[in-house]
Structures are given as structure tokens and as C-alpha cells.
Structure 1
Amino acid sequence: MKKWGYHSYPPAENTDMAVLGIEDALAALGLSTKMQRNDGPVQPLNFVHEDREQKDENGDPVPREKQTYVVDGRTYKMTRALCQMMVDHEGGAIYTSYRVAAYNAAKRMWRPRVADPPKDQLPKLRSMSDLMYAGWIWDDGVPAAKWKEIKYLFSNQITNADTNEVIMRVLKSKGMKDLPQWPGVTFPITDVEGQALLGTPNAVGYGYLLAQHKDQLGNKCVTKITAFEKRGDAHMLLYVEDCVAKDPLEKSLQHGGAGEGKEVMGVVTTVDLGDGTGISPIEQ
């Protein structure tokens, strides 16, 4: 990660699971709320595409928008992409709250502003699935066998307008007006509503996390998605199991949605790049 300009910075000392406000969901699933600093299993991580120690020729800190890094003799601009997450290998859970991919981060930070940052100027390590995978295997003390025990993927405190719009549309399709608190409402991935949720900005990265790292994580599939509300925010929980293909849809999901692009309730979940992989335009 460091090669491509990413650094891991300690989260705030008071980082705690309570900030997510989902204790009822965790209790129902048998997941811990205890952080590693308190001898628990939950590890907070904070990856940022910036270098807070970078200095200019006078020894002064370089402003974020002017920071650069060099890879193979070529100079790139920092983007301030970031991924704030927590991992619990004991419970098989990943939690993400605030994340911004390099493409969108560059649009915000680069000066002069760039409406469409060229991909050849972005870090090759730029998708959320890459950053979440790095977080899942970050702790050297966790045996590789534990990497394959992913069960729960949370997207917490959702503020993305597109994701929230899709959540409301799937609720409307079920005759519901408001998102309920835990246990919320659950959609099988074989239903159109489950597929729509999987294609949202807050879930699609998890889909590619599973699809692109099968050697390390095993052949895993999202089987259902629960959406629920807490403290005025929407949350999503993706349930993960070993893949057992029973129909063409499940086979497609096992292979990361490879094939023709599919639009589900207004969300384009995959596009065909002609190389046998389904890549989401949101993810890239």
C-alpha cells in the first residue's frame, strides 16, 4: 500500500463500536463490541492516501493538495482517498463507515479542479475492495486460515445519496415507507431488491472484495442483505456464505457478476470489459 502513497494512521483514541450505535444488531449476531485496546477482538483501521510527514526543501509540511509520491520513476499526486474500517476476525466481521475512493477524492482535492481525473494519474491501488482487503489481512498475528471466515460485512452510517435512494425504492417495492430499526428488513440476493442493494456504492466494493480475492478468502457469496435504521442513519449488513451455485444468477454472482451489464432498479451492477471480469463503474 505504501508504494502507492497510502499510509495507515491511528484512529482517534476514543474510537469505539458504540459510535456506530448498532449494539442491538451485534448482540443478536453474537458479535463483540470490545476493542483490541480493551483486550477485545475489534481492530480499528484508518487508511489515507496522503503523507502527513512529507516536508518541502525548507522542512515545512507540504499541503495535502500539493503532496506527491513516486512509483517506478513517475510522479503522482496524492488524492486523500480514505477508508475507515474495523475488523473482527473472531466474529468474521468487517465494518466500514467513511470511505472515499481515489477517483472521487481526486475530484475534490486536486487543484486546479479536475472533473474527470485520468486513471493513469491515479494510484493503481484505488478501489475500495483493495483497501478493505488490505484491512482484513492487516494484522500479521492473524493466521491465513482466519481470512476465510468472513461472515458479516457492514456498511454503517450511510450518507451516500444514491445508496439511500435505492434503499427507499426497495422499501417502496415492498409497500413500506420507512426503514425500520433492527432487525430491519432483509432481501435475499436472488431477489431483484437484494441485487439492487448489492449494486449500490456502499455495497458493491464488498462484492468485489469477495470476487477478486477468492484464493485468499475462499469461494464466498453474498446470500442476503439486511437494511436497518439507527439514530437517523441507514445501515446495511451483507451476509456471506460459501458459494453453492443452484441457478444461473448464483453462478454469475460467484464470478463477481461477470458478463453483460445488468441494470436493477436503476443501478448498473456490472459492465463487461471483455476480459472475463465484471467491473462496477462505481467501484472504479
Structure 2
Amino acid sequence: MPPLTPAETHQATYAFATIGINAFAGHIFFVARKSPGFAAKQHWGADPSIDDLPALRSQSHIAWGFWNRLHHPQNIQNLHAFWSLSITNRDTDALINRAHLTYSPHEGTPSPGRTLLWPGVSFPIDSLEGQAILVRQSDWDSPLVNEFKAWGYNDISDTRDYVCSFHLLQDAFTALEIDYRSKEEGGPNRRFAIEHQNGPTVVKDAQGKVPPPWKQCYIGPNNIQYQVTRAHATIGVNSINRVLYFSMSTNYMTQGQYQNIEVNRKAPATAAREYWPNRANNPPRPDELPRLSASSDFAWGFWNQGNPAANVKNIQKILSLDIENPETLAIVDRAMGNIKPCHPDITQVPAWPGITFVVHGDNDAMAFLGSPNGVGAEFFLAQHKRALGNKVVSKITVWSNSILEFANLLFWVADELEPDHEHEEPEDPPKAAPRFVVKSTLVKRSGDDKRVVREHVFRARL
């Protein structure tokens, strides 16, 4: 917990929590709760800032305090189960419904559907469904302009040498009716970028100058001094076509020509371990890092900055471009291998329109969502439901750049999952029924009917 600070006056939020404990069996029961953030918004009539709320507000911290009261220190680890009873929160209920819809307990078997009777359905913690149910709402709901500054970040979005244009992906963008031009070219694609160094809160040296990055420290909003991590992130926003570029390469303009270069996100924890002395085998502690550090929160702040308030909910697509992450590429290779028995002509990731996997118990679709390039998109939607509503990724398209031959992922955002009629089996299916079925959908037709773009959707028969 943050250290206690000198006395300040705060307004009561009208939050409450009721927690039951069975110390002998090692069970904690969350019976009823209204969080300080929700209660304050309800009673104050306005969204509270984080500084207006009590630092001690997490349900887990409150439960920890009660748990400590009933245990001797030698017995405090006797904890076996948490219970959350009589759930009425609509967001949580929607996540549970989705988990029941998509989860298959054993490969090759259908989802058991929702059941309210014991023993219910158990979701492994490493499954996407288990992770989604555990995800809590982010503390960061605003455009985060001031928050970035407060936590030591430097906004480098206006660096003129870099532009957010996608000339090398014109075929896909034209088919999707997305303008590929950057803001500097008169288009809607805007680049946002931050780095965790050289920020306005960096402590200057005795000569009043900013020290080199490896010597920089900053004063956080809690008046504690931190070391900069040299983390960085680049996000693209297209508010007109409702697209968020979550991971991308950036076109670098030199001598009037566009050159495609890689721009990686590097999280504060990763950067600190790499740049701080003697930290390769000694990872930084959470209290040494900025509280604002999740890439999904970075994306949320930039999405807010790039959109009018009324347009924030209208996100339709999240793109992860020019993928080089080895874990994600392994998932791409596995997905290509899974469709090869039925489609031997597909030997590599095809160019646009690529291959689309529908999120309906499709193991490959769920694997893409759980990949390093997909989990940020999933958390972006799951952790900001207060503002976005119950948005979900309904399908995922993978295709290659015909010029650079990198794999790309398109996450289609919808208000609900697509109907799953293709999973209905005949009464007596043949023994050698193909694992995948293909749905071909017309995406775009030219005016003279000579050029047609079709979307090929592969669904797993589970």
C-alpha cells in the first residue's frame, strides 16, 4: 500500500463492503459491495478522479484486513477459496455468459452451456475465459494527458519524422473502406507515442538541466521519487473509420520516400529490467514502477484523445500489424497447420482477404485472443466496459502483407458474438467429418462486378 500522507480532507463516497470469513475452512465470502468509485459517481453526480478516492479501496485489500484480524501470523496462509455470491453486476454477468458460450472443457467437445446448479462449470485460470472473469475494471478512464505527465512519461506524438500511414497495406485498407493516409497527408490516421524518460516531471540536475536517461528520476503524484524505466509505446487512432492500431510498424519518411520500420511497445517492467543496472535477474517490484503501465491503458488514453467523447464507444476494429512476436507467430503457424488437411493449397498466411476465425469455441480464434498481440486488445475491451459497454471480439482475420510478408491480425469488435449456425451437426455425421468448415462471404464488389473480394471464414467443428 502507498505510505500514509499528512492529513487531508476527503469527501465520503458512501461505499460499503460485507465480507464473511470461515477461518477454520479457509474460505472468504464476498457478500455485498459497492466500490468507492461507483458509489462516488452515483452520489456525487460526477466521475471522481483517482486522487478524490481513498487509497484503501480495493475489495482484495479490505478482505485482507478482515482475514488478518482472525488469524495468527503462522496460520494466515490457510486460505483455500474465495466466494462471490448473488452476482448482480451486469458486466460480470455478461463475462460469465460469454465464458459459458465459448469454453470447451475438453478438446473436441462442445461448450456445456450456462448452468446455475452445483457443481457448475470450472474454468482453468490459464484459459481466456478464466482470465476474462478475473479481469477488473481499469482505474484509468480519462484521456490520461495529465496522468501520463504525472507518472513520468513524455509525449512524443508530434515527432514530425514519423507518420501513421499505411501505404503498404492499401489492398486490405481499400477493401475494408479504411483510409490509409496519415493525418499529415490529410487522412484520419493519427499517431500517438510516449516514452518513459525526458518527461516534464524529471528532476533536473544542479545546473538546471535534464540528466541523461540512465540518471533520470521523477516525482510521482504521490510525492515519491521514481527512476525512469525508458519504456515506450506507439498507438495509432483512426476516429473516422473507428480503428485502433494496437501494434504496428510506422512509416518513416526520408527523402520523400516511405520506409517501413518496426516500432515495438516496451512495457515499464521489461524496460526497467533491461536498462536498470543489475536487474537482469532481479525484476523490479511493482512499487518501483509507474502505476500507469499497462499497454491496454495506454491505448485507452490515446483512443480517448483521438475521439470526441460521443464517439468513444464506436470502436469497430483493432489492428495488430507487422507481427514479429515469436509466440504469436507460433500460434499463426499452428492455425495454418490446422486448416491444411482440408485446404492443402494454403501453405502460408495468404494475402488479403486472408483467413478469418470466428470466436465461437474455435480454439485457434481463442488462441489469437490469448496471444501477446491479442491479449492487449482483449483487455482493452474488458477493462473499460464502463465506457465501452459489453464490446467483444467476434472474429479475427489473419493475412500477410504482400510486400513485406509480415503477418497481420484484425480483431473485429462487436456488441455480441456472431450466431453460430455453422456448428450445428447433422444427426448422423460421417466418421471422417472435416474439422473445419468454410464460410465464404462477399466483402466488397466493384461497380463493374469484375473485382470481388470475399472473406473466407474457417470454423472448427468441435
- Which residue of structure 1 aligns with residue 207 of structure 2? 58
Partners in 1 of 2:279 and 2:158 — Cα distance? 29
- Which residue of structure 2 aligns with residue 74 of structure 1? 224
| C-alpha contact (below 8 Å) 2:164/2:190 kept by paired residues | no
5+ residue gaps, structure 2, are 1-147, 249-263, 341-345, 421-462
| C-alpha contact (below 8 Å) 2:357/2:397 kept by paired residues | yes
- Which residue of structure 2 aligns with residue 49 of structure 1? 196
Taking a change above 3 Å as real, the CA distance of residues 118 and 20 of structure 1, as seen in their structure-2 partners, is: farther
Amino acid aligned to 2:156:
Y
- Which residue of structure 1 aligns with residue 432 of structure 2? none
1:144-166 residue CA offsets vs partner (Å, 9 max, x unmatched) = 12011101100111111111111
Specify which of 172, 180, 205 is matched with residue 25 of structure 1: 172
| C-alpha contact (below 8 Å) 2:152/2:199 kept by paired residues | no
- Which residue of structure 1 aligns with residue 277 of structure 2? 111
| C-alpha contact (below 8 Å) 1:65/1:111 kept by paired residues | no
Taking a change above 3 Å as real, the CA distance of residues 43 and 31 of structure 1, as seen in their structure-2 partners, is: same
Amino acid aligned to 2:365:
G
Specify which of 333, 340, 351 is matched with residue 181 of structure 1: 351
Shift of 1:214: 1.1
Alignment of 1:203-214 (within 5 A): 203-214=374-385
**Does 1:235 pair with 2:400?**
no
5+ residue gaps, structure 1, are 248-284
- Three-state SS of the structure 2 residue aligned to 1:22 is helix
- Three-state SS of the structure 2 residue aligned to 1:223 is strand
Taking a change above 3 Å as real, the CA distance of residues 47 and 20 of structure 1, as seen in their structure-2 partners, is: farther
Larger radius of gyration: 2
- Percent sequence identity is 33
Q: Number of residues paired by the alignment?
A: 245
- Which residue of structure 2 aligns with residue 281 of structure 1? none
Specify which of 134, 137, 154 is matched with residue 304 of structure 2: 137
| C-alpha contact (below 8 Å) 1:35/1:41 kept by paired residues | yes
Shift of 1:235: 1.1
Shift of 1:16: 3.6
Shift of 1:77: 1.5
Shift of 1:136: 0.1
Partners in 2 of 1:193 and 1:67 — Cα distance? 44
- Three-state SS of the structure 2 residue aligned to 1:149 is coil
Partners in 2 of 1:135 and 1:241 — Cα distance? 20
- Three-state SS of the structure 1 residue aligned to 2:335 is helix
Partners in 2 of 1:178 and 1:11 — Cα distance? 38
- TM-score, normalised with respect to structure 2: 0.50
- Three-state SS of the structure 1 residue aligned to 2:373 is coil
Partners in 2 of 1:41 and 1:66 — Cα distance? 38
- Three-state SS of the structure 2 residue aligned to 1:150 is coil
- Three-state SS of the structure 2 residue aligned to 1:219 is coil
1:207-234 residue CA offsets vs partner (Å, 9 max, x unmatched) = 1110111121222000011111111211
Pick 1 or 2: higher relative contact order, CA cutoff 8 A, min separation 6: 1
- Which residue of structure 2 aligns with residue 125 of structure 1? 292
Partners in 2 of 1:185 and 1:162 — Cα distance? 19
Shift of 1:20: 6.5
| C-alpha contact (below 8 Å) 2:167/2:181 kept by paired residues | no
**Does 1:84 pair with 2:266?**
no
Shift of 1:109: 1.4
Partners in 1 of 2:192 and 2:268 — Cα distance? 18
| C-alpha contact (below 8 Å) 2:322/2:406 kept by paired residues | yes
Partners in 2 of 1:183 and 1:15 — Cα distance? 28
Shift of 1:177: 3.6
Shift of 1:245: 8.9
- Three-state SS of the structure 1 residue aligned to 2:192 is strand
**Does 1:192 pair with 2:363?**
yes
| C-alpha contact (below 8 Å) 1:93/1:151 kept by paired residues | yes
- Which residue of structure 2 aligns with residue 9 of structure 1? 156
Shift of 1:19: 5.2
Amino acid aligned to 1:233:
F
Larger mean Cα displacement after TM superposition, 74-83 or 186-195: 74-83
Shift of 1:2: 1.4
- Which residue of structure 1 aligns with residue 243 of structure 2? 93
1:237-275 residue CA offsets vs partner (Å, 9 max, x unmatched) = 10000135989xxxxxxxxxxxxxxxxxxxxxxxxxxxx
- TM-score, normalised with respect to structure 1: 0.80
- Three-state SS of the structure 1 residue aligned to 2:162 is coil
Shift of 1:187: 0.8
Shift of 1:14: 4.2
Amino acid aligned to 1:168:
D
| C-alpha contact (below 8 Å) 2:396/2:411 kept by paired residues | yes
Partners in 2 of 1:244 and 1:236 — Cα distance? 18
Amino acid aligned to 1:144:
A
